[in-house]
A = this chain, B = another copy of it.
Amino acid sequence: MGETVALSEKSPSEIDAFLQTQRTAYDRLVTQGLKLDLTRGKPSAAQLDLSNELLRLPQGFTAADGTDVRNYGGLKGLPELREIFAELLWVDPEQLVAGGNSSLTMMKDCLVDLLLHGGVDSERPWSQEEKVTFVCPVPGYDRHFTLLESLGIEMVTVPMYDDGPDADAVAALVKDDPSIKGMWIVPTYANPAGSVCSQDVAARLASMPTAAPDFKIFWDNAYAFHHLTEDEAKSADIVKLASAAGHPHRPLEFASTSKITFAGAGVAFLAASPENIAWYVKHLGTGSIGPDKVNHLRHVQLFKTADGVREHMRRHRDIIAPKFAEVQRVLTERLGTQEVATWNDPAGGYFVNLDVVEGTASRVVELAKAAGVALTPAGASYPYGKDPKDTNIRLAPTMPPVEEVTAAMEAVATCVLLAAAEKYATV
């Protein structure tokens, strides 16, 4: 077809013809009976295979300090595992807890503890405040928002830029309103925007005056080591930045091996000030006699060192970078000249952020579903599932084999074009 004129600049009859073309293409797509899924950021079987040695580990069951890892105890996690990840996250091992299989659980635990008990710098438990609000950069991670909603915490949004959240907007919100108690951020290769929070933005978030004395940055560094190129982004060191700015208890940094080893059987980490760690462990201890240290030892023996983790991540990159490249190729070839969509080309993480013609994201997802391609629900990257402009679609290409990524993206492109044509045809 070879259009080179943007869809919005075509004449009504050209748009009508275009709409017919897209309908035909879509009808053909539906007859293919696809069954593809780009919904969730899950590692593929080939990625999981990289860690299959875990299935035969650990060798022995004795920790470096003589602890029998099979038995109870050790709330903070296995010291030798904490050493490896403390090096990767630039904290002292004493500032790091290694826990169970989910950093999301640690985030929830922290929120529940803040609600029921208050933090180290709180005047009272957050549940005794009239209102608690979090700043949510958008687009963001749907589970962050669902978690806040389930706990009755309100949400206010700020834009996510290429260098992180809009620091001016955040600073203006938190300056005078003591009910604003915290914020989310996925600082490195953000979900889904792919952006990396710059040193400068992080420093501003770490140092900005907040009306709440116990303001918390939930720094979900889920993709800290998940590079897609050889130009490996360095996460800002929020723990040290906040400490240097006189707000040592502001950040709670989360990380995990969920997308390093086994998504369901990895190890989660919390890094924070020593006081925050003591606070967390104290409350953790009322409901736990210690994490799964056998799994901790497995991970120590798999990685051996921090460099072992870095090397392991390069093997992930080799598997998934071609899938991300395929997303770029199809989007560029099919939508590059139409001006019906913009998207990012992330240097890491698990997602591609696709923005379609305003008001058509839900329609694209609906069309794709009818054609057998599951996409994350439109709006999922916004609090309460409501994307005010209905433009945002999160694409997660890691899980399917590359040929399925191709097929799914071809389908997505067809749906984006049809939805855009429908929209312009009715204007």
Contacts and interface: CB of A to CB of B under 8 A. Distances in A.
A66 to B, nearest CB: 12
A264 B101 CA distance: 14
Interface residues of A, number: 55
A185 interface: no
Copies in the complex: 2
Interface in A33-58: 40, 42-43, 45, 48, 51-52, 54-58
Contacts of A101: 100, 291-292
A209 to B, nearest CB: 31
A43 B151 CA distance: 38
A289 interface: yes
B292 A264 contact: yes
A43 to B, nearest CB: 7
Interface in A46-101: 48, 51-52, 54-58, 61, 68-74, 100-101
A143 B72 CA distance: 14
Given A69-B264, A72-B258, A294 B104 contact: no
Nearest to A51: B70
Nearest to A115: B116
A56 B405 CA distance: 35
Of listed A48, A101, A117, A291, residue having the most chain B CB within 10 A: A101
A283 B101 CA distance: 17
Given A147-B287, A263-B70, A112 B104 contact: no
Contact of A72 (B42, B286, B290, B293): B42
Nearest to A102: B288
Given A48-B68, A55-B61, A112-B116, A147 B286 contact: yes
A61 B54 CA distance: 11
A150 interface: yes
Given A69-B265, A71-B264, 5 more contacts: A70-B262, A101-B292, A115-B116, A143-B286, A264-B291
Interface of A: 40, 42-43, 45, 48, 51-52, 54-58, 61, 68-74, 100-102, 104-105, 107-109, 112, 115-117, 127, 143, 146-147, 150-152, 258, 262-265, 283, 286-295
25 contacts: A42-B72, A48-B71, A55-B61, A69-B265, A71-B262, A72-B264, A74-B264, A100-B100, A100-B101, A100-B292, A101-B292, A102-B288, A102-B289, A108-B286, A109-B287, A127-B127, A146-B286, A151-B286, A264-B289, A264-B290, A264-B293, A265-B292, A265-B293, A265-B294, A295-B295
